[in-house]
Amino acid sequence: MIEVKLHDIGEGMSEGEILHYFIKVGDTVKMDQPLVEVQTDKVAAELSAPKAGIVKEILAEPGETVKVGTTLVIIEEEGSNSLQSKKPVQIDRGKEKVLETGGKAQVATVAMEDRTHLRRVLASPYTRKIARENEINIEEVVGTGPNGRVLDQDLYAILEGTKQPSRQKKTEKLMPELRSSSYFSEPKVEVRTIPFIGRRKQIAVKMTESVYTIPHVTHFEEAELTSLIDLKNLSKKDGVSFSLSAYFIKTLVIALKEHPIFNSTLDEKNEVIRLHDDYHIGLATNTPDGLIVPVLKHADQKSILQIDEEMKKLTRRAQNNELKGEDLRGGTFTISNVGPLGSTGATPIINAPQTALLAIHKTKRRPVVTKDDQIAIGEVMTMSMSFDHRIADGAQAVAFTNRWVEMLEDPKRLIMELV
């Protein structure tokens, strides 16, 4: 028997939610064949079969959140069966009962039982004795005691027929008294519910932590992109196509190099602000499952076209839920481009422990005053930058965005940097 356990897929994860199984009990699986998809704090990961064999048991249900180390699937190796197997864990349990009770009728029922439903329950030895004497399968009983412990009265209730042994969900177990009260028996308005789990829950946890820990300050700025758009159109004619976002990232890295405080993370425990030499730009990406932030690594070492290409790849993988843990780690600064969706201003929440997050909003055609005091039509983009006021101050933040805006408004300035 091989137990496939949930292992630590990312750095120090402690639990994961079962999304779905690719297999069912009885299936023959090959080595490395995907068995189950698990949503961790950051990614949906597949666990694969460590050996070839037949799926004997599936122990956690989809939707369930399980701790690292929990056995999810039991595979029986090919060429063995449960009777010959060296570690017949469940069979042992049956034997134990045989020895202790010595009752033949019970031996038969225990041995024939569908073992996929067995689970560990909390119960005192005396309660187990009552269950055994009355041939109640205690694994099937939902306890009403502390931590769901099965109590004597739970068994007596079953014996009296006032309770059915069942494997109800935890939510129902939580409030046994309330469930039977008149409040719950009154006709109630039907509401649709969405499970608050998985990535949604992770986003909630992270955002709450960030907003409650970091004193956020957001300042707003705008940039006139007419020249940049001209450049983009010009290069397109010459067969070079880059997205504005790629240009934004390229220039952003230059601004960050000059204002390194915004390419930092705060390590509160060790009381240091870490200024990073790597420029790993997080790209806040909207997906059907919610916000996720893949990281574009070493943006400073890449050309605009390389950035463009990699950005598209990361976004596509995010949409298809194909990101790996590695893709999500190590960000030093996050950029959130909500322009394509609309919006001209926001107060974004920082992707802790980073120092700042820059949201780019919609570019609109607007009247602008030109250098020679004429009113003209300009392509004006708004942006919002939130920063951690513990680490940086407003003046630094404004200087930083000013520098960036310079390069956005006058692409020639970028060339100066590249010389």
Partner 1 sequence: MINLEKQSKTKQMTLVQAVNDALRVALESDANVLLLGEDIGRNGGVFRATDGLQEAFGEDRVIDTPLSESGIVGTGVGLAISGSKPIVEMQFMGFIYPAFEQIMTHVTRIRMRSMGTYSVPIVIRAPYGAGIRAPEIHSDSVEAFFTHMPGIKVVCPSSPADAKGLLLASLADPDPVLFMESLRLYRGEREEVPVEGYEIEIGKGKKVLEGNDVTLLAWGAMVPIIKKAASTVAKEGISCDVIDLRTLFPLDRDMIAESVQKTGKAVIVHEAHSTGGLGNDLVTLINDTSFLYMKAPVERVTGFDVPPPLGSLEDHFLPTESRVIAAIKRVIQF
Closest CA to 198 of 331, 64, 90: 64
Is residue 134 a contact residue for partner 1 (CB under 8 A)?
Answer: no
DSSP labels, 290-318: EEE--EETTGGGS-HHHHHHHHHHHHHHH
Is residue 147 a contact residue for partner 1 (CB under 8 A)?
Answer: no
* # residues contacting partner 1 (CB under 8 A): 7
Is residue 129 a contact residue for partner 1 (CB under 8 A)?
Answer: yes
User: Which strands make up the sheet holding 2-5, listed edge to edge?
Assistant: 2-5, 71-77, 53-58, 28-29
Instruction: Yes or no: say if 294 and 282 are a contact pair by the CB < 8 Å rule.
Output: yes
Instruction: Yes or no: say if 165 and 117 are a contact pair by the CB < 8 Å rule.
Output: no
Tell me which residues in 233-292 interact with partner 1 (CB under 8 A). Answer: none
Binding test (CB under 8 A) with partner 1, winner from 51, 128, 163, 329: 128
Is residue 127 a contact residue for partner 1 (CB under 8 A)?
Answer: yes
Nearer to partner 1, 126 or 196 (CB): 126
Provide the minimum distance between the beta carbon of 129 and partner 1 in the complex, in angstroms, as a whole number.
4
Provide the minimum distance between the beta carbon of 180 and partner 1 in the complex, in angstroms, as a whole number.
23
Provide the minimum distance between the beta carbon of 132 and partner 1 in the complex, in angstroms, as a whole number.
8
Nearer to partner 1, 80 or 124 (CB): 124
Is residue 125 a contact residue for partner 1 (CB under 8 A)?
Answer: yes
* DSSP strands (E only) in 249-392: 264-267, 272-275, 281-287, 290-292, 295-296, 333-337, 356-369, 375-388
- What letter would DSSP give residue 372? T
Binding test (CB under 8 A) with partner 1, winner from 27, 46, 64, 152: 152
Provide the minimum distance between the beta carbon of 98 and partner 1 in the complex, in angstroms, as a whole number.
15
Provide the minimum distance between the beta carbon of 138 and partner 1 in the complex, in angstroms, as a whole number.
13
Question: Strands 295-296 and 281-287, how do they pair?
Answer: antiparallel
Q: Which stretch binds partner 1 (CB under 8 A): 47-55, 64-72, 121-129, 364-372?
A: 121-129
Nearer to partner 1, 152 or 410 (CB): 152
CA 331 – CA 353 distance, rounded (Å): 9
Instruction: Yes or no: say if 110 and 136 are a contact pair by the CB < 8 Å rule.
Output: no
List helix spans (H) across 113-265. 125-133, 152-159, 170-174, 176-180, 182-185, 198-213, 226-237, 244-258
Task: Please classify residue 178 by burial: count the beta carbons closer than 10 Å to its beta carbon, then call 0-12 exposed, 13-18 middle and 19+ buried.
Answer: exposed
Place of tokens 């201003």: 345
Provide the minimum distance between the beta carbon of 125 and partner 1 in the complex, in angstroms, as a whole number.
5
Nearer to partner 1, 30 or 129 (CB): 129
Q: Which stretch binds partner 1 (CB under 8 A): 87-95, 127-135, 271-279, 364-372?
A: 127-135
Is residue 26 a contact residue for partner 1 (CB under 8 A)?
Answer: no
Is residue 14 a contact residue for partner 1 (CB under 8 A)?
Answer: no
Is residue 101 a contact residue for partner 1 (CB under 8 A)?
Answer: no
Closest CA to 49 of 19, 74, 66, 79: 74
Q: Tokens for 184?
A: 């719950």
Q: Which stretch binds partner 1 (CB under 8 A): 122-130, 154-162, 166-174, 233-241?
A: 122-130
Q: Which stretch binds partner 1 (CB under 8 A): 125-133, 220-228, 242-250, 288-296?
A: 125-133
How far, CA to CA in Å, does 265 sit from each of 203, 350, 353, 403?
Answer: 19, 11, 5, 21
Is residue 126 a contact residue for partner 1 (CB under 8 A)?
Answer: yes
Nearer to partner 1, 23 or 123 (CB): 123
Q: Which stretch binds partner 1 (CB under 8 A): 8-16, 107-115, 123-131, 280-288?
A: 123-131
Question: Cis bond leading into 125, ω under 30°?
Answer: no
Task: Please classify residue 338 by burial: count the beta carbons closer than 10 Å to its beta carbon, then call 0-12 exposed, 13-18 middle and 19+ buried.
Answer: middle
Nearer to partner 1, 11 or 177 (CB): 177
Active site (catalytic) residues: 389
Q: Tokens for 317?
A: 């993988």
Q: Which stretch binds partner 1 (CB under 8 A): 119-127, 272-280, 294-302, 344-352?
A: 119-127
Provide the minimum distance between the beta carbon of 150 and partner 1 in the complex, in angstroms, as a whole number.
12
Binding test (CB under 8 A) with partner 1, winner from 28, 81, 124, 303: 124
Provide the minimum distance between the beta carbon of 181 and partner 1 in the complex, in angstroms, as a whole number.
24
Question: Strands 333-337 and 281-287, how do they pair?
Answer: parallel
CA 123 – CA 136 distance, rounded (Å): 13
| Residue numbers at the binding site for partner 1 (CB under 8 A) | 124-129, 152
